[in-house]
A and B are shown apart, each in its own frame.
Chain A
Amino acid sequence: MATDPVCGMYVDEATAVLTAVVRGRKYYFCSETCLETFTAPEKEMRALKRYTAFSLAVGFPLFVVAVGMELGWWLVDLMGPMNVLFFLAETPVQFIAGWRFYRGTHDAIRNRSANMDVLIAMGTTAAWGYSAVVTWLPILGVRLADVSTYYDTAAVIIGLILLGKYFEEIAKGRASDAIRKLMDLAPRTARVVRDGREQEIPVEQVQVDDIFVVRPGERVPVDGAILEGYTALDESMITGESIPVEKEVGDVVIGATINKTGLLKVKATRVGADTMLNQIIKLVEDAQVARAPIQKLADRVSAAFVPAVIAVAIGAALFWYFIGYSMFLPVAEGYGLHTSLTAALFVMVAVLIIACPCALGIATPAAIMVGTGKGAENGLLIKGGEYLEKAHKLTTVVFDKTGTLTKGKPSVTDVVHFSVGTEADVLRFAASAEKGSEHPLGDAIVRAATEKGLALEDPQDFEAIPGHGIRARVGARAVLLGNRKLMAQAGIPVDAAEATLQKLEAEGKTAMLLALDGRLAGVIAVADTLKDHSVEAVRALRTMGVEVVMLTGDNRRTAEAIAREVGVDSVLAEVLPGQKADKIKELQSKGKVIAMVGDGINDAPALAQSDVGIALGSGTDVAMEAGGIVLIKDDLRDVVASIQLSRRTVRKIRQNLFWAFAYNTALIPVAAGVLAGLGILLDPILAGAAMGFSSVSVVTNSMTLRRFKPEL
């Protein structure tokens, strides 16, 4: 069963005749209107605008003239001829502007289900049809007691409902703005180097492994790896990160980002649909078409609703025809209804129109479209409405430790010095010895020294001794950096450092001894450290009332030390890599709704098991990442932001459903005449206005989501 991407109706692919291929994907439609809406949004909107204006331009004057006549102000004796004039004016509105409702009714019958067009077509046709009969019968010589007509009602209702539809189209246009804005980011051409020459070619022709050049100020055409040059890149359009990112040889650059300062030579790694930009576009597109569970519920309610409404309308009409009119004569007269037939008609049309849940079709999609679009702007990719709803119900967030809460690579945590020199000396010699090392430990030490502004020398006679450490000559000094075995081999006593070593090792750190010229100089400890914003993010989540759990393979003692530092509620320690998904299941069996935050590729099973898997910045392969939410940036604050955005969007959806459904359903009894005892009936024109208003209010309410800003 396929879903019509416009109105959400289920369409059987086997029997579907209305299909279209847009941007490479095949879509199925329930009606011509939906097909055309999807394939030609702008054309549709312009036509809609014309029809709306036409209907209201005819309807309102008709309304004014008719009211005047009813109140006896003018033209009272000319009812007959005026009716013909009204007929001529309104019939085009009914069948040209109102054609879509007839087409929709026809398609509903074909699909053997009910939709809103049926209600509107029935209501307005009843008004028009009755009025036509009343217009033409006297001309054919039949005498009628009451020649009031309701052409104005039909025209104004059509106009107001079209106005609502126009607003819905604006909403859809603006919401898919997010996708269109993303698509506009893609450059059209690339400067590739072929046969030793630079050529400018269409970006579609760039192939993997092509070498291309990006000058300062230009946009990167496709994803690639830097071969030559270094620069700062503005990646805000993809990641939402406003600060330019510095990159150099070997680093990955993303297509559609802007190269700011340096000339780059890049080898293409991903082109076409595989680029990160296109993966994001596809993700957002899929998210906007996906039916959220609450929308499916609304669709089912709607399908059952329409036949019920028709039944109520006919029932009310019959009641008023046979009993109600005479029972409430003064009330009816007050509304200009002079016969039981016109009273029945009035009530029937009012019920049909007020009950029409016109905005229901857009209540959920409008909010989801704006919400997911807003998320994409900020590097939060939400894959569909169902994840929004689950995020709304979250009780617990589980963070994987290594690489999620922590940076995933070692940094220097402690520098201790003995007898010789100062801490700075210890760091300086160790870093100089490790200069140019590609090993994570060496890299950590060099980074620490560079950050402290220490001047490093190149090492001489460098030797790496596996299982022991390294040996080198720095300036005039002999340097040894490694473990106890290395020192023992060189005959250097390390008793002075033993207590320090044991303390650091108990903390789960990697501790290295440094010896200079045969004497123990210091100890350097290295460990994985928390990311910059981990503490902040955990705190924000707990403030939101969400329980935070840390999941790790560390031993209990090390795990609890980090847990205290980052501020989580509880720790699941000593979890083997294959056990992560089971741990999530255990928590879920306790009734918790879990979001797991982890690596989108390595933690895929656990992310899939959780209610909402949040994949944290694994690189440019967003399509491959498991989980309902993919965060492009490697910033834990985005976890908080994505949960807040999801909750805000779900609130919007519920508000929209209320505006689309609740208040007009509440008015059905009034339209049927329940308050006639109090002298109140519902004028069908007011019903039409209420319906137009519900579309407008749903759309404008959804638009306010664009103001979302994360609160941390």
Chain B
Amino acid sequence: MEKDPICGMMVDPSRAAGSTAYGGKTYYFCSAGCKSTFDKNPAKYAK
């Protein structure tokens, strides 16, 4: 289980609505909305 960096929701990677690779790490998202928020400014939300 991975945590969506935008909303904090626990997400099953195999069922994630979307994912983005950034800075050598893959981030998983609960919905398209959270993914697009992340993608607009990855540096701000990446851990």
Contact = CB atoms under 8 A, between A and B. Distances in A.
Of the candidates A400, A439, A482, the one having the most CB atoms from chain B within 10 angstroms of its own CB is A439
Contacts of A402: 12, 14-15
Interface string B1-20: 10001111110111100000
B33 A554 contact: no
Interface string A203-216: 00000000000000
A599 B14 CA distance: 11
A401 interface: yes
B1 A439 contact: no
B1 A554 contact: yes
19 contacts: A400-B14, A401-B12, A402-B15, A408-B15, A410-B30, A438-B33, A439-B31, A441-B7, A466-B38, A466-B45, A467-B44, A509-B10, A552-B12, A553-B12, A558-B1, A577-B14, A599-B15, A602-B14, A602-B15
Nearest to B17: A440
A441 B5 contact: no
Interface residues of A, number: 33
Given A439-B31, A555-B1, A577 B13 contact: yes
Given A440-B31, A558-B1, A526 B9 contact: yes
B45 A510 contact: no
Interface of B: 1, 5-10, 12-15, 30-31, 33-34, 37-38, 44-45
B1 A553 contact: yes
Nearest to B10: A510
Given A440-B31, A466-B38, 4 more contacts: A466-B34, A510-B8, A576-B13, A602-B14
Contacts of B8: 467, 469, 482-483, 510, 512
B9 A440 contact: yes
A467 B6 contact: yes
Nearest to B38: A466
Contacts of A603: 14
Contacts of B6: 466-467
Contacts of A558: 1
Interface of A: 400-403, 408, 410, 438-441, 466-467, 469, 482-483, 508-510, 512, 526-528, 552-555, 558, 576-577, 580, 599, 602-603
Of the candidates A440, A509, A526, A577, the one having the most CB atoms from chain B within 10 angstroms of its own CB is A440
Contacts of A555: 1
B31 A553 contact: no
Contact of B10 (A403, A408, A527, A577): A527
A603 B10 CA distance: 20
B21 to A, nearest CB: 14
A698 B5 CA distance: 63
Contacts of A401: 12
B17 to A, nearest CB: 8
B9 to A, nearest CB: 5
Contact of B5 (A467, A469, A527, A576): A467
Nearest to B3: A510
B9 A467 contact: no
Given A439-B31, A466-B37, A410 B14 contact: no
Contacts of A469: 7-8
A529 to B, nearest CB: 13
A528 B30 CA distance: 12
